[in-house]
């Protein structure tokens, strides 16, 4: 009896494993033609200034609508693509599209918002990456100062040091802003944070969620470090008014999250950037509350 159950379970497990493996293989293969097949698009999520509610930039988030699997989240397919050189092609597609979209945004008044593009550490290791970015900027006409590249803390890992600091230095010298994404979740080295040309840190949304239980220490620490190094602070994953108010009180510079605005299709943004956004008044006016 047990033996039969065991074997049944084993068969089920093998089938499950096989179909998961199958999906991974299909996705890794199909993504190569996804761009040409019109299955990829970018959604944009604003990052706003706490000071005045201005849209500082819009982050491009990759969306893939697979003909059989439907919407596949980037957290599932990006790691698959990172296992091959395909990430370089996909990354170039994203950059190209994001920069040309950003060229179509119109400002009511004041500065145009920048566009933030997520970049894999594999792309940064590619010796051709910097030139590719320069080419895309000149082809689309986007000023480098309107481009933010979001990198993760993997750029701080010692085995990446050489190549990556060269690339980041070149990109920064062009006037592009370098932002560290998901700050606090990975390998952080204060000396590297200081040595590399970093402009901003994006405090990971897990710490923002922690505010609900009064866990402020990590965010306070991150803000302190950022101030000392002259970096801008951005909080990601802000979902509630109370989180936004707490971040405001702690002195974060910029906010991003569902509370402010969900990621939107590019077409919906065009006529409205940068001042369509309505922030709750409590965030816009007055000095930070005392606590």
What residues pair up with 59 in beta bridges, in sequence order?
45, 116
Cα distances (angstroms) measured from residue 250 to each of 90, 93, 220, 253? 38, 38, 7, 9
- Report which secondary-structure segment, H or E, holds 142: none
Task: Kindly state whether residue 78 participates in binding ligand C2E, applying the rule CB under 6 A.
Answer: yes
Instruction: Tell the smallest beta-carbon distance from residue 255 to Mg ion (Å).
Output: 13
Separation between Cα atoms, residue 148 and residue 213, nearest integer Å: 32
The residues in 87-126 that bind Mg ion, with binding defined as CB under 5 A, are 118
Separation between Cα atoms, residue 285 and residue 266, nearest integer Å: 30
Residues comprising the chain, all counted: 291
- The residue among 30 and 122 lying less far from Mg ion, judged by its C-beta, is 122
Show the tokens assigned to 204: 């990971």
The residues in 15-54 that bind Mg ion, with binding defined as CB under 5 A, are none
Task: Kindly state whether residue 75 participates in binding ligand C2E, applying the rule CB under 6 A.
Answer: yes
Binding mask 2-31 for ligand C2E (x = CB under 6 A): ------------------------------
Instruction: Tell the smallest beta-carbon distance from residue 11 to ligand C2E (Å).
Output: 34
**Binds Mg ion (CB under 5 A): choice among 101, 153, 236, 253:** 236
Show the tokens assigned to 243: 């989180």
Show the tokens assigned to 250: 């702690």
Instruction: Tell the smallest beta-carbon distance from residue 183 to Mg ion (Å).
Output: 8
Interface residues with ligand C2E (CB under 6 A) are: 45, 61-62, 73-75, 78, 94, 118-120, 150, 181-182, 205, 236-239, 257-258, 263
């Amino acid at each position: 009896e047990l033996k039969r159950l065991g074997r049944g379970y084993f068969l089920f497990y093998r089938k499950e494993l096989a179909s998961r493996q199958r999906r991974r293989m299909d996705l890794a293969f199909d993504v190569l033609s996804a761009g040409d097949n019109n299955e990829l698009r970018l959604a944009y999520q604003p990052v706003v200034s706490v000071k005045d509610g201005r849209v500082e930039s819009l982050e491009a988030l990759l969306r893939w609508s697979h003909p059989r699997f439907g919407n596949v989240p980037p957290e599932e397919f990006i790691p698959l693509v990172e296992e091959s050189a395909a990430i370089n092609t996909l990354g170039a597609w994203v950059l190209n599209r994001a920069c040309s979209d950003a060229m179509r945004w119109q400002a009511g008044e004041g500065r145009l918002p920048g566009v933030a593009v997520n970049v894999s550490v594999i792309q940064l290791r590619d010796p051709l990456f910097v030139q590719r970015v320069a080419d895309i900027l000149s082809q689309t006409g986007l000023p480098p100062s309107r481009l933010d590249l979001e990198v993760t803390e993997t750029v701080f890992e010692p085995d990446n040091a050489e190549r990556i600091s060269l690339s980041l230095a070149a990109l920064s010298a062009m006037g592009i802003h370098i932002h560290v994404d998901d700050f606090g979740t990975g390998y952080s080295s204060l000396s590297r944070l200081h040595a590399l040309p970093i402009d901003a840190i994006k405090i990971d949304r897990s710490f923002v969620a922690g505010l609900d239980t009064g866990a402020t220490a990590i965010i306070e620490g991150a803000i302190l470090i950022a101030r000392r190094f002259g970096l801008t602070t951005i909080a990601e994953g802000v979902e509630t008014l109370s989180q936004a108010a707490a971040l405001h009180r702690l002195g974060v510079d910029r906010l991003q999250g569902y509370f402010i605005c969900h990621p939107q299709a590019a077409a919906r943004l065009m006529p409205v950037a940068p001042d369509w956004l309505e922030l709750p008044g409590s965030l816009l006016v007055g000095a930070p509350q005392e606590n």
